[in-house]
Chains A and B, each alone.
Chain A
């Protein structure tokens, strides 16, 4: 069974609009971390934001925020006021913490395209 699910293979959004990228996860470990990465066409995987399973508040980093709904096992990324430079692949990832294997599992990604 997939542990990280990103149901939107591609999205088109008008510049300056907000966009939500969906991510659901599956784990029985009470301790885990959730990550979002951005991958432009250059290939580099850029870390955006992190949410811990015990964090009480949703993580925010500049224009990025993570809508963490623990009961629903969702960790959607919200980008406010989108810019042309936001066009990229976005990957949601999960690490099941406190284990000896530091495996981060990545979703299949969402390709975001920002229209001018």
Chain B
């Protein structure tokens, strides 16, 4: 148990559905991240929030919409996804995204998403 939880753990959705992934951290961190892990590809950073402000959008399509209402919660809103968006979506948190290189990210268990 790393102190980062994600729900749901598994999600199957159609291309016309709208769904949301939720991440919550209990570590008192100020930065939260969304990553995408596809089969046979390295982990890809999607979004970074630091003190509730988005500091990075790694050229993510607009069908993925993040929301960070406070430093403990992070959402990823999904709409009109494509089958190639099927992947493991991992949330992480760290003390301070603009700190020095010692800032360690702690990950949640991930949501395994399947888009039909």
Contact = CB atoms under 8 A, between A and B. Distances in A.
Interface of A: 4, 31-33, 35, 37, 42-47, 50, 52-53, 91, 93, 95-98, 100-109
3 nearest CB pairs, A to B: A97-B101, A33-B101, A45-B107
Contact of A31 (B2, B31, B100): B100
Given A50-B104, A102-B55, A44 B2 contact: yes
B92 A102 contact: no
Contacts of A100: 55, 98
20 contacts: A32-B101, A35-B104, A43-B109, A43-B110, A44-B107, A44-B109, A45-B43, A47-B107, A91-B43, A93-B43, A97-B101, A101-B48, A102-B55, A102-B99, A102-B103, A103-B45, A104-B105, A106-B43, A107-B42, A109-B42
Interface residues of B, number: 30
A42 B42 contact: no
Contacts of B56: 101-103
B45 A104 contact: yes
Secondary structure at the B interface, as helix, strand, loop or mixed, is loop
Contacts of B94: 102
B59 interface: no
Contacts of A101: 48, 55-56
Contact of B88 (A33, A43, A103): A43
A43 B37 CA distance: 10
B102 A106 contact: no
Interface in B41-100: 41-43, 45, 48, 50, 55-56, 58, 88, 90, 92, 94, 97-100
